[in-house]
């Protein structure tokens, strides 16, 4: 009898239970916060920093997509969540690096500026945790 020490991945439909609910809730909070902030900034002071405010709006849309796709069940939503969280990580890394090395690019901070410093670096940690969560809850590999 062989004992397998590595746990089998959970099914993709169990990702919205337990700690997954907390992850989805945090994504929902960021979706609301980033969207509301960007909406206000675009409506009231767009000319001050249009690129920064449009990036914040884009971040809000990414957070909305991640929230919805993480909460839904099925293979399509699983892939959609992986894409949304991957785009988020790429955005945080690119915008974070650009804002760190050339502050003139973003005269006003975005959600992802300085790797999310204005939000306690949660925007940097959230996609990493999201990708780990998705990896651990991927569908089991099909055997032939």
46, two tokens? 């767009």
For 119-142, the pLDDT digits (tens) are: 899 999 999 999 999 999 887 654
Residue 9 covered by a domain = no
21, two tokens? 């609910």
Three-state secondary structure along 61-74?
Answer: HHHHHHHHHHHCCC
Residue 142 covered by a domain = no
Please report the pLDDT score of residue 67 as a whole number: 97
Residue 10 covered by a domain = no
Q: What is the domain extent for residue 131?
A: 16-136
109, two tokens? 């901070």
Report the chain's mean pLDDT, rounded to a whole number. Answer: 86
Stretches where the chain sits below pLDDT 70 are 1-17, 140-144
Residue 122 covered by a domain = yes
Query: Alpha-carbon distance 105 to 49, whole Å?
Result: 9
Structural domain total, the chain = 1
What pTM was computed for the model?
0.82
For the chain, the distance separating the N- and C-terminal CA atoms, rounded to the nearest angstrom, is: 22
Residue 5 covered by a domain = no
């Amino acid at each position: 009898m062989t004992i397998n020490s590595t746990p089998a991945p959970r099914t993709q439909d169990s990702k919205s239970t337990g700690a997954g609910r907390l992850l989805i809730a945090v994504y929902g909070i960021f979706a609301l916060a980033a969207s509301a902030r960007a909406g206000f900034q675009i409506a009231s002071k767009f000319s001050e920093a249009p690129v920064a405010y449009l990036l914040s709006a884009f971040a809000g849309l990414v957070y909305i997509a991640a929230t919805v796709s993480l909460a839904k069940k099925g293979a399509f939503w699983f892939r959609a969540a992986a894409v949304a969280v991957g785009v988020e990580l790429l955005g945080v890394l690119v915008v974070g690096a650009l804002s760190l090395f050339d502050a003139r690019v973003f005269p006003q901070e975005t959600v992802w500026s300085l790797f999310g410093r204005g939000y306690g670096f949660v925007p940097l940690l959230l996609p990493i945790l999201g990708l780990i969560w998705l990896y651990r809850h991927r569908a089991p590999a099909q055997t032939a």
